[in-house]
Structure 1
Amino acid sequence: MATTLDDFWNERRAEAPELPVEAPEAWSFGATPEQADELLELVLRGVKDGTASSLWDYEASGDPLPVTGECSIVTDGAGVPRAVIETTDVRIVPFDAVGAEHARAEGEGDRTLEHWRRVHEAYWRAHSENPRGFEPDMPVVCERFRLLWPTPTPTSTASTPPPTVSA
């Protein structure tokens, strides 16, 4: 098992030489190690193929916005690289205009828009990186992605409901 991000990326490139030579950005979902692990598990199970971020948080942190076609390394709550995803779509929309399809793509809770709005509002009120926090019309970066590695598995049919965290 790879011990560094570079080792991890070199192993992925050995399996798929068409990947970019330089390792992409590595990051985790959520704001806590527990959220990172729970949301990563949804990705690995094939349930989660979307995420949402505050545009204001990107502006506050200076981080670049996601770009269609770019790859990312997703880490678990301990910072261990566990997945490679490719961004397939990026749209910026007001919070109150995010649609049911995007809520479903995030894979959390009961996958409804009502759940998505409740959980994301709470998330941005608690974890925002900018002084504006949450507003009903705040700009939200809605990102869709596909799992490149590990090979996606079919959506779980387990009766355990998915976690209710956000990112």
Structure 2
Amino acid sequence: MAEDGAGRPRLVLRTTKLSERRLADVDAASAADEGEADQSLSGWRETHRDNLTRNGDFAPDMRLWCERFEIVRVLDHHPRAGTTGA
């Protein structure tokens, strides 16, 4: 399940592949598939280094779980009566 910024479920996902690898071993194809920053390997590494450093978790040789998934279903959400959608 994937949630939006307000914590509401938005997607049902199915994991198709899960692999463990070192941060330094993530390749350009995986970085591009993730779609962050400019989709380059250097952009991917910079974004992840910054986020992990901010959380106090960065180490150059750290291990990551890399997940490939497919979208099974997009969940529709309608604001409840008397509320506004954000």
Give the 3-state SS of the residue equivalent to 1:114 in structure 2.
helix
Deviations 1:118-154 (A, max 9, x none): 00011111125xxxx2111100111111111129xxx
Query: Does structure 1 residue 107 correspond to structure 2 residue 45?
Result: no
Partner of 1:15: none
Q: Distance in 1 between matches of 2:72 and 2:55?
A: 29
Give the 3-state SS of the residue equivalent to 1:142 in structure 2.
strand
Query: Does structure 1 residue 124 correspond to structure 2 residue 48?
Result: no
Give the 3-state SS of the residue equivalent to 2:61 in structure 1.
coil
Give the 3-state SS of the residue equivalent to 2:60 in structure 1.
coil
Query: Does structure 1 residue 143 correspond to structure 2 residue 71?
Result: no
The unaligned stretches of length 5 or more in structure 1 are 1-72, 152-167
Query: Does structure 1 residue 88 correspond to structure 2 residue 12?
Result: no
Amino acid at match of 1:148: V
Task: Kindly indicate which of the two structures has a greater share of residues assigned to strand.
Answer: 2
The unaligned stretches of length 5 or more in structure 2 are 76-86
TM-score (norm 2): 0.80
Query: Does structure 1 residue 97 correspond to structure 2 residue 25?
Result: yes
Give the 3-state SS of the residue equivalent to 2:72 in structure 1.
strand
CA RMSD of the aligned region, Å?
A: 1.4
Aligned 8 A contact 2:37 2:47 in 1: no
Identity of aligned residues (%): 37
Task: Kindly indicate which of the two structures has a greater share of residues assigned to helix.
Answer: 1
| Large movers: runs of 4+ above 4 Å | none
TM-score (norm 1): 0.43
Amino acid at match of 1:104: A
